[in-house]
Amino acid sequence: MKKIFNVVGARPNFMKIALLMEELQKYPEFQSVLVHTGQHYDDKMSKIFFEDLDIPKPHVDLEIGSGSHAEQTAGIMAAFEKLCLTEKPDLVLVVGDVNSTLACSVVASKLCIPIAHVEAGLRSRDRTMPEEINRIVTDAFSDLLFTTSKDADENLIAEGIPSDKIFFVSNAMIDTLLEHKERAAKSDIAQKLGLSNDGTTSHYALLTLHRPSNVDEPETLTAIIDAIDEIQERIPIVFPVHPRTDKQLQLFGLDRRVQQMRNLILLKPQGYLDFLSLLSTAQMVLSDSGGLQEESTVLGVPCLTLRENTERPVTVWEGTNTIVGSDKDRIIKTAFGILEKGGKTGRLPEYWDGKAVERIVKILHHLFFHSVPDSIV
């Protein structure tokens, strides 16, 4: 039996690990251990996702909590090293690009424990993004790199990663979306907010905002809020407010302004199913989230990315995503264009078919036990 540590730490990780844990449990040769670092630890950012996605209770919770990037990463590393020395896993599997991903990869590498990275090879080419540093370092240390798109393969090869370590398997987060789409459609969140939700596109937009480059800079955040103020005069906007964003709105004196916008519906962070329900029937989404670029592409919802770049260019080339940055006029013009003419429709990227976790686990089984899977793809 091979012991696999499956590491999660923050909200974006949970959608990627849910079905992977379920698939690993089909193989008695694997002992699948869920390790939660506690990077996101409150109910709205962590617990509700475990409930919505039927993720089993973590076998280990390191309970690290919040802090600066250095404090949080160092705390995770110290606790995870002790765990690895005691439990001696055969593989550390990390997902995404949060601080937990980086910290556990560094520890495993120094202990000579093989590392598998799910969602490898994504690059924004912007090293001011903490996530970009986490991606680059994690990929450099990883022994198995599971990618979501062909451009990710190309990025890794350009960085000197041997091609026999790279496996294009598709997108585990999209597996979760497709698995839970019907359950999400039964949510009554839209009705509770006074919005129609009959399974078709409704007249509202969805907004998320959390990246430091947007919410930590008063001029940038003000410009985005200026744009939102004008757009909400034309269409209701549902805005689940991230704790970091809420803090910064108060710090910069913008909280009262957003509260007074008559068509801006402010919410606490939502659970997976309620949020997916809102996303599925929105007329458009405005966001600085990487994952939402992918989810909106699969759902056919036009996405305005409030950043100057993306590590997921396939969502622009093939999907519904448009990069608008933080320029007020460009945001407004693009949003009004969607209201008047409709937005990008896009197409489903290659292999985004709900079978990524099957491919990943087949590959792991093959590499550990030298069996020949019926089919990887």
Whether the predicted pLDDT of 226 surpasses 70? yes
Q: Is the pLDDT of residue 197 over 80?
A: no
- Tell me the C-alpha distance between 42 and 19, whole Å: 22
How many Cα atoms sit within 13 Å of 293 on the Cβ side? Answer: 23
Residue 36 CB contacts under 8 Å (≥ 6 apart), including other chains: 8, 9, 46, 58, 60, 61, 62
Which residues partner with 43 through β-bridges? none
Beta bridge partners of 239: 266
Residue 43: the pLDDT is 58
The pLDDT-based confidence of 44 (bands split at 50, 70, 90) is: low
Q: In the predicted model, is pLDDT for residue 304 greater than 80?
A: yes
Q: Per-residue pLDDT averaged across 65-72, rounded?
A: 87
| Average pLDDT of every residue of the chain | 93
Q: Is the pLDDT reported for residue 148 higher than 60?
A: yes
The reply to whether 180-341 shares the fold of 2-170+355-369 is: yes
* pLDDT (0 to 100) of residue 373: 47
Q: What does the block give as tokens for 281?
A: 């029937």
Q: At residue 362, what are phi and psi to the nearest 5 degrees?
A: -60, -40
Q: Write the single-letter amino acid at 131.
A: E
**59 flagged as catalytic:** no
Rounded to an integer, what distance in angstroms lies between the CA atom of residue 277 and that of residue 36? 26
Q: What is 180-341's CATH number? A: 3.40.50.2000
Across 353-364, average pLDDT? 96
Which residues contact residue 302 at a Cβ distance below 8 angstroms, ignoring those fewer than 6 apart? 283, 284, 285, 296, 320, 322, 338, 342, 343, 344
Q: What CATH topology corresponds to 2-170+355-369?
A: Rossmann fold (3.40.50)
Say whether pLDDT at 196 is over 80. no
166-168: strand order across its sheet:
60-61, 30-36, 2-8, 91-95, 115-120, 144-147, 166-168
pLDDT of 271 higher than 60: yes
66-69: long-range contacts, CB 8 A cutoff, minimum separation 24: 66/39, 66/41, 69/99, 69/130
pTM score, two decimals?
0.94
pLDDT at residue 47, rounded to an integer: 78
User: In which order are the strands placed within the sheet that holds 303-305?
Assistant: 264-267, 237-240, 205-208, 284-287, 303-305, 321-323
As a whole number of Å, the CA-based R_g of the chain is 20
Domain borders along the chain are 2-170+355-369, 180-341
pLDDT for 200: 57
Mean pLDDT of 268-288: 96
SS (H, E, C) the chain: CEEEEEEECCHHHHHHHHHHHHHHCCCCCEEEEEEECCCCCCHHHHHHHHHHCCCCCCCEECCCCCCCHHHHHHHHHHHHHHHHHHHCCCEEEEECCCHHHHHHHHHHHHCCCCEEEEEECCCCCCCCCHHHHHHHHHHHHCCEEEECCHHHHHHHHHCCCCHHHEEECCCHHHHHHHHHHHHHHCCCHHHHCCCCCCCCCCCCEEEECCCHHHHCCHHHHHHHHHHHHHHCCCCCEEEECCHHHHHHHHHCCCHHHHHHCCCEEEECCCCHHHHHHHHHHCCEEEECCHHHHHHHHHHCCCEEECCCCCCCCHHHHCCCEEECCCCHHHHHHHHHHHHHHCCCCCCCCCCCCCCHHHHHHHHHHHHHHCCCCCCCC
pLDDT above 80 (res 198): no
Among 56-70, 86-100, 239-253, 363-377, where is mean pLDDT lowest? 363-377
pLDDT, one tens digit per residue, over 288-302 is: 999 999 999 999 999
106-293-235 Cα angle (round to 5): 140
By the 10 Å C-beta count (0-12 exposed, 13-18 middle, 19+ buried), 187 is classed as: buried
- pLDDT tens-digit profile of 153-183? 999 999 999 999 999 999 999 999 999 999 9
- Name the catalytic one among 117, 210, 242, 365: 210
